[in-house]
Structure formats: C-alpha cells, structure tokens
Amino acid sequence: MPRPYIASRSGEPLHRRTFDVLVLGGGIAGLTAAIAAARRWRVGLLTKSTFDDTTTFLAQGGIAAALGPSDSPELHFQDTVNAGAGLCDEEAVRVLVNEGPDRVRELMDICPRFDKVDGQIVLGREGAHSVARVVHAGGDATGSEVSSALAEAARVGSSVQLYENEFVIGLLTVEGRCVGALTLNLDDGGLTLNVAMVTVLATGGAGQVYGRTTNPPVATGDGIAMAYRAGAAIRDLEFVQFHPTGLAVPGQETVQLVTEALRGEGAYLRNAAGERFMISYDSRAELASRDVVVRAMVAEMRLEGSDHVYLDATHLDAAWLHQRFPRVTAGLAEHGLDLATQLIPVAPVCHYFVGGVVTDVWGRTTVPGLYASGEVASTGVHGANRLASNSLLEGLVFSDRVVRDLDRYIGRLGEDVRRLRFDLPEATADADGSDAVSARHRLTSVMSDKVGVLRRGDDLRAALADLNALTSELRFASLGEAEYELLNLLTLGTQIAKCALLREESRGVHLRDDFPAVDDQHWRRHVTLRLPTHEREEGVIGKVERS
C-alpha cells in the first residue's frame, strides 16, 4: 500500500471547528495545557476515547519532585542524568527539576487527595532515586486521582471545549505550518476539520505496538506517527522502556503493572530457586534503575529457562500492604493472587516510550504551529532510560511551558487560519480489503519476537523485512479506526526497528545481545529521523487553498 494515509470522504459532509488552540490528548499533559491555555485563548481538547481511558489514568506510580527537606533540585537532576545513561539534555532536565516542585504544588490545589500523614505530604522512594521524593494520591491510584481531578477542572472550572471519541487521522499543514487536525468521530463516523492557530500534541505513547503492554488499548502511537508524516523530526525510538514488574499471568488485555513503589517499600525480586538475585547485580539491589533491573531479570530467566521471576512482599505487614496498594491488591485478587502471602510472578513488559517528537524546552517541534508535551514528545529529559515517576512530572512542567510560549507564537501570526479552505479527495476502495485485526496481530508478534527486550542485528533486519512486506500487502475496503491505528503502529514499529538496528551498542533500555557494551565514542548521540519533503502529508490529506 504505497500511500496508505490518504484521508478521503464518500459524499458525507465535512464538518469544521475553529479554535485558537487545539489540544490533542486527554491525559495529564493535554488537560494541563488545555486548562491553562483556556484562561486566555479559545481552546478545544479532543481525546480518542474517554478521560478514564488514558495512560495517565492507569498510572500506579506517583510524581517525582524535590519537595522534602532532605531533597533538592540538584539531587533530582543528578538522579535523572545518571539514569539517562549519557543522553539526557541537561538544559531540559534543569527545567524539569527546577520548575517541577511548583507545578506539583499547583496540581495539589486541583487534586486534594494526595497522600498525607498529620497534614504532611508522604514521600516514597523508587528505583534509582537517592532520596524519597515521589508523591502519591490514593496509594497506588495516583493516575486515576489526578486524571479525574483535571478532567473535572476542565469540565466545570474552565471554558475548554471537550470532545471525546474523536480519532485524529492527521495534522493539517499549509506551507510547512501546522494549522490543526482532521478527525474521525467514532460515534457517528463524521469527518471534522479542526482548524487552529496552534496545535498541541499530547497523545501519549505506543505500547500497543508490542501487544503485551501496561498501556491501554488507545496507546497506538498516533501522535508520533502523524507528526512524522507531517514532517516533524522524531528521535530515540529505539529506547522503549520495559517495566521490570508486569504481572506474568495469561488472560490480560492490558498487562497489570505491579508498581515499582513496592520495591521502594522493601519488596524483593527472587528467581525460581527462591534466591534474592538483585544483590548480585547492583549495590542498589531492587532499587537500581529500571534498565539494570530488567537486564538482571533477563539474565536470571535465561539461566533458568523461565519466562518470569517473582516479586516477594510476604515479609511486609499484610494490613499495611493492602491499604497502601489497593489497586494492585484488587488486580491480583482477580487472578487468585495475594501480595501478603504469595510470590507474584513478574516479567518485563512494554511500558513507556522514551523517544518521540523532538521539542525544545518550550515544547516547540520542528514544525511551526505544532507543540508537543508528555510521552509523545522527546524533550531530552529521559536520555536513554526514564527515571521512575518523572513522566507525569514532565507532562505538568512542559505543558505549562507550552502555554507560556503561546503568547509569543500567536502574537506574531500574520494570517487568520479561519480563512483557510481544505478539500479532501473522494474515497476509493479495494474490493478485497485486508483484515486489520489479523495484520495487527502479525505486527505485534514481529515486534515482540524480534524487537523486544533483548535485540540482535539479524532479528532486527528480519523484523524490518517483515514489516515492510506487511505494509506493502495492505489493501483496505474502507478506512476506520482499526485501519488508521494499524497504519500508525506500522509506522512506529518500522522506525523503532530501524533505530534499534542503527544503534550498535547497549545503552539504557536499548539492549543488544550482539553489542553488549556502551560505546560512547560512536553512540553517545541521538538517532533522529525526518520524512523526506516529497513524502510528507501536506498534499496527502488534501488540497489547501486560501479563500
């Protein structure tokens, strides 16, 4: 399918909305940006599903910030840079750690359910943090508490126009500038041109490219794929963070995360022989950075011929465990497991995309008029391996900076986007359409088998051949949500495999069996991709004219 991203219509009316600021995504990054921007601008926020169907909502971990008396932004900076394995953008990290505490305090005003004892905020410790600095809400329900509070603030306390069940097909561009997005309404099938002076991408990650993931079904990499097609630079896609402790039992549509906070509170990792093995791999034991823990787990599983190890919290107080980790407790109970009395089978699982759309420290992408924040963005704060609980903080900090930069950008625009007109080509169909479901299964199998936790050059080359063949075979009788998601996942999968093959070393979360060492001489740098000008989406979505 040589040009798979043509959006078209079959005689149905083409709707139109106009905003000053269009925000795409309903997680912490999108809601933060929309609420703040609406204080001055006319804002529309579109989310692919509902506000409780986001990666933010599922987050069990908390938010890291230097709030305690024994902590400081400098300590947080050092921990973040150390975890990033030589690839952090230090300017971006300084922004994160210095502005983070104020952003978290502002969030606490919106979300009052952060955990406190005697009026004082409770600070937890997680892997690779030198001190306790992670705040939680509702124990291990931070994501749902924060997401619900922000969504309520957007609905009731702001003028943001909210639209759920809106699938973004592609970005609208004219002369290299982003002027909004084309969307498909998943309730009635209608197409809408959402025209805006500024578009903010906050669409999250792409965990569904692996099938076995902690991400919700909506995490199909749509934002990164559409930005790439529109000409934006993307980078570091080889750095896919596999969380060490995904629940290793069958029958899960979205893999349950067994939160890292458990290891922060004293839980151990044990192999099949019952041995606590992390003390043999790193002086920090279970509190080592995620990439170190994953490497150790993979080594143990290989030695034992097993597909999992065990998390042991049985030495901790049972009543306290159930109170502190209510979501984990409830989720495990669905599989007949109990933290307090049983060893819990765990294995690495796709969790977070470190790479994404390249931005500066103000969230500006390489496409004028397009900003990005949160997991969809590559700000440089995570380097080659994200420090635990820095992700929600990133969304807070950089969405705030995006909004602060809007005055500068919108203020110098000389053209009113409301005067632009867009035409879409008429639809054409292939009578023998491909099955998107089976094609997606082929894709996720290739990614899991050949581009997973531990990689080899031969496997990566085979993966690229498989993905290219799958792309060329696709023929669709019609285009809907399943087909667009598949095309986005194929874009992401291909670029992940390509970047993983290029980086001939092991660094952070990128592990090469055939290149096991860090190679600072050749690879202490980023891998950046940009679609050639003649292949970009301008002219693919439709003809753009000024009326």
- According to the model, what pLDDT value does residue 61 have? 76
Average pLDDT over residues 470-493: 92
Residue 417 scores a pLDDT above 80: no
Mean pLDDT of 391-409: 95
Instruction: Give the pLDDT confidence score for residue 478 in this predicted structure.
Output: 82
Domain containing residue 507: CATH number: 1.20.58.100
Identify the pLDDT of residue 426.
Answer: 64
Q: For residues 485-510, give the mean pLDDT.
A: 97
Structural domain count, the chain = 3
Q: What mean pLDDT do residues 13-31 have?
A: 93
**Cα separation of 223 and 217, whole Å?**
15
Instruction: Give residue-wise pLDDT tens across range 514-524.
Output: 999 999 999 99
Average pLDDT over residues 457-479: 94
Q: Are residues 37 and 131 in the same domain?
A: yes
Asked if residue 5 has pLDDT above 70, the reply is no
198 with 98, same domain: the answer is yes
Query: Considering only 53-62, 227-236, 308-317, 438-447, which range has the smallest mean pLDDT?
Result: 53-62
The angle formed by the CA atoms of residues 420, 422 and 427, to the nearest 5 degrees, is 175
Look at residue 536 and tell me if it is in a domain: no
Looking at the chain, the whole-number percentage of residues with pLDDT higher than 70 is: 93
User: Which one, of 521, 495, 496, 519, lies nearest residue 506 by Cα?
Assistant: 519
Mind telling me the catalytic residues? Answer: 290
Look at residue 461 in the predicted model and tell me its pLDDT: 98
Question: Token digits for 267?
Answer: 């839980």
In a shared domain, residues 227 and 250: no
Burial label for 209, CB within 10 Å (0-12, 13-18, 19+), is buried
The whole-number pLDDT of residue 462 equals 98
Express each pLDDT in 109-118 by its tens digit: 999 889 999 8
Q: For residue 473, count other CB atoms closer than 10 A to its CB.
A: 11
Q: Is the pLDDT of residue 541 over 70?
A: no
- CB of 351 closer than 8 Å to CB of 160: no
Residue type, 536: R
126 and 173, same domain (yes or no) = yes
pLDDT at 329: 95
* Within-domain flag for 540: no
What's the pLDDT score for residue 430? 61
Residue 29 clears pLDDT 80, i.e. is over it: yes
CATH number for the domain spanning 270: value is 3.90.700.10
In a shared domain, residues 126 and 52: yes
Q: Give the distance between the most distant pair of CA atoms in the chain.
A: 73
Cα(176)–Cα(195) distance, rounded to whole angstroms? Answer: 15
pLDDT tens-digit readout, 305-364: 999 999 999 999 999 999 999 999 999 999 999 999 999 999 999 999 999 999 999 999
Instruction: Report the C-alpha gap between 539 and 422 in whole angstroms.
Output: 10
392 and 369 in one domain?
Answer: yes
Structure tokens at 352: 């977070």
- How many residues are there in the chain? 547
Q: Are residues 289 and 323 in the same domain?
A: yes
Domain shared by 416 and 455, yes or no? no
Considering the domain architecture, whether residues 304 and 225 belong to the same structural domain is answered as: no
Which pLDDT score, from 0 to 100, does residue 11 have?
A: 61
| Residue of higher predicted confidence among 416 and 532 | 532
Whether 112 and 229 map to the same domain: the answer is: yes
272-295: average pLDDT: 93
Q: Is 422 left (phi over 0), alpha (psi -120 to 50) or beta?
A: beta
291 pLDDT band (50/70/90 cuts)?
confident
Q: Half-sphere exposure of residue 497, counting CA atoms within 13 Å on the CB side? A: 28
What is the reported pLDDT for 313? 97
Task: Verify that 218 and 197 share a domain, yes or no.
Answer: yes
Same domain, 207 and 68: yes
**Contact between residue 76 and residue 64 where contact means Cβ atoms under 8 Å apart:** yes
Cα gap 128→209, rounded to integer Å: 27
> Is the residue at 181 inside a domain?
yes
Task: Using the predicted structure, report yes or no on whether residue 10 has a pLDDT greater than 80.
Answer: no
Give the β-pairing of 528-529 and 234-235: antiparallel
Residue 507 belongs to domain spanning: 436-527
Measured distance CA(139)–CA(141) in Å, rounded: 6
Please, are residues 347 and 301 in contact by the beta-carbon 8 Å criterion?
yes
